[in-house]
Every structure is written in C-alpha cells, then in structure tokens.
Amino acid sequence: MTDLAIETEGLVKVFGTNRAVDGIDLRVPAGTVYGVLGPNGAGKTTTVRMLATLLRPDGGRARVFGKDVVRDADTVRSRVSLTGQYASVDEDLTGTENLVLLGRLLGRSRAAARESSERLLAAFGLAEAAGRQVKNYSGGMRRRIDIAASLLNIPDLLFLDEPTTGLDPRSRNQVWDIVRTVVAQGTTVLLTTQYLDEADQLASRIAVIDHGKVIAEGTKGELKASVGSGSVHVRLRDPEQRPAAERILASALRASVQLDPDPVALTATVDGHGTDLGAAEQAARALSELARAGITVDNFGLGQPSLDEVFLALTESGPTGTAPAGAAADTTTTDATDDTDPADPTGTKGTPA
C-alpha cells in the first residue's frame, strides 16, 4: 500500500452560516505533487490551513503522515512548511537578512543561518540580489525568496497555496522547476492553483473542489476521460457562420460547444457515451454535417480534452456531479482563484513551519 502524506475523512470547517469546507475526503500519496483545483471560494485555502494546523476543523479528521492535525499538532508542524498566497518576508530587509533572521528563529547559530541563506539564495537564482531590499525585487523574485524561506528546513510536506499568482510566464516556469526539484528530493507537495495548466504540468493526481466538497479526483488522464473521449477543435473560414456551426456541432456530437476567443474557432467535446462510434468517427460525422450545410472549415483537430474543458464540465454539474470513472467518488473540483477565509480576510501568510 502506498504511504500517504495526507489523509482526510469528512473534513468540515464552518464560519458562521458559511460551510466553507463540507466533508472533504483526500488521500495524498507521499513523494508526489497533489493538485487541488477549485473556483474562487471553493474551500481550498481553508482546507490547507486546517492541514497545516493553522485552523481547527469543526468536523471530520485529518492526518499528516499518520499524525492527527489536532491531537498531534506539534509533531505535524515539525514536518510541514507553508507558502501562502501572500509573501511572508520583510520587504525592508535584504534577501540575506530575511533568511538569516528566519534561520535564527529556527534555532540556528548565526554562522549556520548565514550559510543556509547563501546556499538557498544561490539555488533560487537570487545570489546577485542577496544584498538588495526585498521591496526592490520583482514579483517572481519575491515569490522565489518566499519559497526559499519555506525550505530553510527541508519539510516532508510543503503546502504551496497559489504560488505563481500574478507571475509572468518566465517566473512561473522558474517556480515550476523549483517544485520539481523539491519533489525529486523526496518532499511531498500539496499545490493549490488558479492555473489549470500548472496542475497539468506538475500534479500526478488532482482533486477538484467546489462549494467545500470534492466533486472529482484522479490522475489528469482520468479527469480528462471523465468528460469525454476527445475534443474537436474547429476553425472556420467565415466568422458569420459560427452560430450555425455551433448548432450543427452540438446536434451531431450531442455535446455543449465552447466558443473560443478567436471569432472563427469552436471547441466541442466528443462524449462517446450512448453510441457505438469512436471519437474519430463522431468527429468525422460532425465535419460532414458542416460541409453539407455549406460551412467551410479551414482546419480542425481532434485531441484529448484540456483541463480547462474538464473544469467547465465539472463545475457545470456542480458538487452533486458524478465522479470520474476510475477515480474515487466524492473527491474534487476545479480551480480559478482561491478562497479567503472570513476569519482571515488577508489570507494565509507563507511561513516556514
């Protein structure tokens, strides 16, 4: 049996009349990246804060490496680290001063704290900026030093709560590389994110949360297969024909059709349920219907649904939706921007545990 870094059963958190987390069950294998997706207010940050012992659950139970997050909170804290949605470092201090200060708070000697700060700054590509005040760092640099602070003590479990929000593509890629390096060294990462491609890049399993419940859970392949066996992407020659093409595709494929930002592009899911035709055959039939209607297709493609399409399909069905085939029932939803707890409107600060 695979060792579990996190296991929750019926986890609940209530703020007044708001049931922010409403019976979440999770099983996170050790040594992996586990993605948690969900719309704004879905309950992702609240769940992370309970697992990190920052909030006390109102119901259910949660264990981190077999230790109860309430009864064994001190033991759990010794094995985890958290980087929240907002930077935890002091902007008036330099990069070196921030990491030395945190190292000293962790009980290290001044020499040991300085040695570890130099090592981390170099590893995160911040050595040249070590003597500059953090308020003069770019957004990507601030995020990297925030994660570096979480790794002063290499944790067994690292919570990353939307670590790349607001970063440019290059900075995001740098953070992704850091996550991969950390996991290669044996750390388990629980990642909440508003970027579906981020979960696609990093996570081996993904839970989708909506309205405080897990509505789907599985590997990327399982989640994509749950909303259809394929996805047809069509590009028309004439944008005025798109409304007619939308109707024809919806009828031929018996599926909803998404209108892409490009005015001549459409995307439809090929379900495969209730028909003997495979995805390719269904797509061919739909394209034939378009041709018979006099609608010119410049190009088309058939591929696996994206996580964006999975997100839309799952959140349309809501928290009562059916879990994907091959995945655990009552498990996860999708992600957009994360939730802020009513009890903590500023969000979670990232701090080394």
Give strand pairing partners of 258.
267
pTM listed for this prediction: 0.71
| 220 and 238 inside one domain | no
State the first-to-last Cα distance of the chain, in angstroms, to the nearest integer: 28
The residue type found at 150 is S
pLDDT confidence of 320, banded at 50, 70, 90? Answer: very low
Q: What is the pLDDT of residue 277?
A: 60
| 146 and 264 inside one domain | no
- Is the pLDDT at 346 greater than 60? The verdict is no
- Structural domain contains residue 251: yes
- Structural domain contains residue 332: no
| 289 and 188 inside one domain | no
| 70 and 30 inside one domain | yes
Helices (H), the chain: 44-51, 73-77, 95-105, 110-123, 139-150, 169-184, 196-202, 220-226, 242-253, 279-292, 307-317
- Structural domain contains residue 103: yes
| 54 and 177 inside one domain | yes
- Structural domain contains residue 209: yes
If one counts the domains in the chain, the total is 2
Average pLDDT over residues 298-314: 76
| 93 and 238 inside one domain | no
Q: What is the four-CA torsion angle of 19, 25, 29, 33, rounded to 10 degrees?
A: -30
pLDDT confidence of 2, banded at 50, 70, 90? Answer: low
Assign 3-class secondary structure to 237-271: CCHHHHHHHHHHHHHHHCCCEEECCCCCEEEEEEC
| 145 and 70 inside one domain | yes
- Is the pLDDT at 344 greater than 60? The verdict is no
- Is the pLDDT at 336 greater than 80? The verdict is no
Chain-centre distance of CA 205, in angstroms? 10
- Structural domain contains residue 174: yes
- Is the pLDDT at 330 greater than 50? The verdict is no
Average pLDDT over residues 160-175: 83
- Structural domain contains residue 353: no
CATH of the domain at 284: 3.30.70.100
| 189 and 295 inside one domain | no
Domain interval for residue 297: 228-304
By C-alpha distance, which of 267, 187, 197 is closest to 227? 267
- Given 262, 277, 304, the domain boundary residue is 304
| 164 and 27 inside one domain | yes
| 165 and 266 inside one domain | no
- Is the pLDDT at 343 greater than 50? The verdict is no
| 141 and 266 inside one domain | no
CATH of the domain at 161: 3.40.50.300
pLDDT confidence of 203, banded at 50, 70, 90? Answer: very high
Q: What is the pLDDT of residue 342?
A: 43
Rounded to 5 degrees, φ, ψ at 190 are: -105, 115
Q: What is the pLDDT of residue 347?
A: 40
| 133 and 153 inside one domain | yes
Distances (CA, A) of 224 to 216, 250, 307, 323: 11, 19, 7, 12
- Structural domain contains residue 53: yes
- Structural domain contains residue 30: yes
Q: What is the pLDDT of residue 151?
A: 84
- Percent of the chain at pLDDT > 70 equals 82
- The answer to whether 18 and 339 are in contact (CB under 8 A) is no
